[in-house]
């Protein structure tokens, strides 16, 4: 006990010495976070060329859509999870049977010329989307011709659907046009109208000027709209300048002509990463690259075995393909629903690369090297051998070769066959004459995942269920998701669908490509989530700022100096 007492006394003495050695507590100022202030001009290099500043004419021109998204408003917008939010629509309601949608337009919504935005503007724009004379996708035109649109009053309207269709809100993200300025024009006259060069919208930025050089339009200038119904942008002016490719855009940045670059391609990515003044932003694209198997091909019975399909995925080194062939510009895909979406199941099973396990499964299924020799495994006289058609591009060619090599190590023979995109669809996928196919699915501008067109039984014969996956359980999930507007219920059934998909693996998901763009570090407040269109990179531009100030009173922090 005496030794313990001595130890305690010594410890207290040591603590006292340390305390005596401390200097008095000092209050030091801590820098307060900056607050955005209005002002400044942001300039961006757009990779592309000028077409028409009109949202019903921009379906095939990404550069036009980038600018139109700032000039024009839509009834519905979507956040980075694909959840619908009101844009022009202040509120909306859906009937119990899911066939009637009522919308109220914001009272404060006005056009850049001061006229109010009304229901007539929406009805007018829908009429244009139905026109055969405008460059509107056929599928979109056919759909709008099935929808009844009624004006209830100047600020409210109604859509009537022929049957319940929960993804309908996706179709309301079109830019609304001013009926009072364009009603006298026919559809064909609209294509060449002066309006397309000097548009009037209702978005956060209004058209200001066209930049030109030697008679060629080289850019577009916008100014913030003071009477915008939403939060006003901090940046007062935005200037877009057109460039042929990312290399030219990067050169323009280095020359001080622009502060942002709309697309960073793989050829300039290393230079951008090495530039300390440029911030790189990356987001998942609404695309999926996968391998289809023709599940109805009786001559290739092994495609009908879920264990073999899964083993083939386990035997693919997808991360190596992404790193070595795509410059790291992709994410390993887990299934047909995009990560980051409200419908994505975070706990979905991740399939790791394990060639030893893949080989063991194939052997256990009874596929062996024939006694006569060779390197291709077989069972009951059927060899693990098939043709893999793929788009005739350099990227797809190297991917197909990597797939061939990985599967050859498992005793599987693959014969890559390059074809044009049109041939791939018209001669192989549509007639279901392929054996296996390397395919890119592009779901651009479709925030709702809606797997129905690609995986439902009803789409086997004449639809886009190219794998011909005939699974009643999976079909029930996605059919139910299509007819209920309850997001909680839809989330549940989409989760079940994804679990079922991974269990059965009717096709092999390879990767989701990513998109990158760059902005000078002087531009603050920039953020980007998963994308449903490249224009989504500008969704947060109202929060960007170039000028900042600190609060007048600086908070004090308590620090102790030894």
Specify whether 478 is located in the same domain as 377: yes
Say yes or no to pLDDT of 36 above 90.
Answer: yes
Four-CA torsion 13, 14, 15, 20, nearest 10 degrees? 90
Tokens of 214: 């030697």
For residue 221, is it within any domain? yes
CATH number at residue 149: 3.90.76.10
Say yes or no to pLDDT of 214 above 50.
Answer: yes
For residue 51, is it within any domain? yes
Alpha carbon of 282 to those of 262, 267, 536, 537, 562: distances in Å? 11, 16, 12, 9, 44
Tokens of 129: 């989307």
The count of structural domains within the chain is 3
d(CA 31, CA 557): 10
For residues 430-450, average pLDDT: 96
**Beta strand 76-78 with 84-86: parallel, antiparallel or unpaired?**
antiparallel
Tokens of 385: 């051998």
User: Domain range spanning residue 137?
Assistant: 73-197
**Buried (b) or exposed (e) across 441-468, using 16+ Cβ within 10 A?**
bebebbbbbbbbebbbbebbeeebbbbb
d(CA 68, CA 239): 13
Confidence of residue 188 (pLDDT cuts 50, 70, 90): confident
d(CA 368, CA 380): 10
Say yes or no to pLDDT of 264 above 80.
Answer: yes
Question: Are the beta carbons of 329 and 266 closer than 8 angstroms?
Answer: yes
**Buried (b) or exposed (e) across 111-150, using 16+ Cβ within 10 A?**
bbeeebbbbebbebbbbbbbbeebebeeeeeebbeebebe
Asked which of 178, 197, 216 is the last residue of a domain, the reply is 197
Specify whether 131 is located in the same domain as 221: no
pLDDT per residue over 72-99, tens digit each? 999 999 999 999 999 999 999 999 999 9
The pTM (predicted TM-score) of the whole model is 0.90
Specify whether 454 is located in the same domain as 549: no
Q: How far is CA 543 from the centre of its chain?
A: 20
Specify whether 318 is located in the same domain as 296: yes
For residues 542-556, average pLDDT: 78
Specify whether 430 is located in the same domain as 465: yes
Asked which of 476, 495, 514 is the last residue of a domain, the reply is 514
Specify whether 476 is located in the same domain as 538: no
CATH number at residue 506: 3.10.105.10
**Poorest-pLDDT segment among 2-11, 372-381, 413-422, 466-475:** 2-11
Please enumerate in sequence order all residues whose Cβ is within 8 A of that of 402, keeping only pairs 6 or more positions apart, or say none: 317, 320, 321, 325
d(CA 438, CA 401): 11
423 phi and psi angles, rounded to 5 deg: -65, -40
For residue 67, is it within any domain? no
Between these two residues, 15 and 360, which has the higher pLDDT value?
360
**Poorest-pLDDT segment among 27-41, 127-141, 291-305:** 27-41
């Amino acid at each position: 006990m005496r030794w313990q007492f001595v130890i305690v006394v010594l410890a207290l003495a040591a603590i006292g010495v340390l305390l005596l050695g401390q200097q008095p507590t000092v209050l030091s100022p801590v820098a307060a976070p900056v607050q955005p202030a209005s002002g400044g001009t942001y300039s961006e290099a757009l990779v592309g060329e000028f077409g028409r500043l009109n949202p019903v004419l921009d379906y095939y021109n990404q550069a036009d859509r980038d600018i139109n998204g700032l000039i024009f408003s839509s009834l519905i917008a979507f956040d980075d999870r694909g959840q619908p939010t009101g844009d022009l629509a202040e509120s909306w309601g859906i009937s119990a049977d899911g066939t009637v949608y009522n919308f109220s337009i914001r009272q404060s919504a006005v056009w850049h010329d001061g006229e109010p935005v009304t229901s007539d503007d929406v009805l007018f724009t829908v009429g244009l989307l139905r026109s055969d004379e405008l460059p509107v996708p056929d599928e979109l035109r056919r759909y709008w011709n099935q929808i009844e649109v009624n004006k209830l009053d100047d600020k409210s309207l109604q859509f009537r659907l022929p049957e319940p269709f929960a993804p309908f809100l996706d179709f309301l993200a079109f830019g609304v046009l001013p009926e009072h300025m364009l009603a006298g024009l026919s559809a064909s006259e609209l294509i060449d109208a002066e309006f397309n060069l000097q548009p009037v919208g209702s978005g956060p930025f209004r058209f200001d000027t066209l930049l030109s050089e030697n008679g060629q339009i080289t850019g577009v200038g916008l100014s913030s709209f003071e009477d915008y119904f939403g939060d006003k942008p901090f940046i007062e002016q935005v200037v877009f300048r057109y460039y042929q490719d990312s290399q030219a855009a990067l050169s323009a940045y280095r020359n001080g002509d622009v502060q942002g670059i709309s697309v960073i391609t793989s050829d300039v990515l290393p230079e951008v990463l090495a530039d300390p003044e440029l911030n790189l932003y990356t987001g998942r694209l609404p695309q999926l690259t996968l391998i289809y198997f023709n599940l109805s091909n009786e001559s290739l019975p092994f495609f009908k075995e879920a264990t073999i399909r899964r083993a083939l995925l386990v035997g693919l080194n997808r991360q190596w393909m992404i790193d070595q062939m795509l410059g790291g510009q992709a994410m390993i895909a887990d299934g047909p629903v995009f990560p980051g979406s409200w419908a994505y199941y975070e706990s979905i099973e991740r399939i790791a690369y394990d060639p030893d396990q893949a080989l063991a499964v194939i052997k256990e299924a009874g596929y062996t090297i024939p006694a006569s020799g060779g390197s291709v495994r077989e069972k009951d006289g059927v060899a693990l051998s098939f043709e893999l058609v793929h788009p005739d591009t350099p990227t797809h060619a190297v991917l197909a070769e990597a797939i061939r090599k990985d599967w050859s190590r498992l005793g599987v023979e693959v014969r890559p066959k390059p074809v044009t995109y049109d041939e791939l669809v018209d001669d192989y996928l549509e007639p279901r004459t392929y054996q296996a196919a390397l395919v890119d699915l592009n779901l651009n501008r479709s925030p709702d995942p809606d797997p129905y067109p690609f995986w439902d039984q009803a789409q086997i014969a004449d639809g886009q269920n190219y794998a011909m996956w005939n699974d009643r359980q999976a079909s029930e999930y996605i059919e139910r998701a299509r007819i209920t507007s309850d997001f909680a219920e839809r989330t549940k059934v989409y989760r079940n669908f994804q679990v079922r998909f991974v269990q059965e693996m009717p096709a092999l998901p390879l990767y989701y490509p990513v998109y990158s763009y760059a902005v000078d570090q002087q531009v603050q407040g920039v953020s980007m989530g998963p994308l449903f269109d490249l224009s989504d990179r500008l969704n947060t531009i109202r929060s960007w700022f170039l000028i900042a100030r600190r609060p007048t009173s600086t908070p004090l922090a308590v620090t102790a100096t030894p």
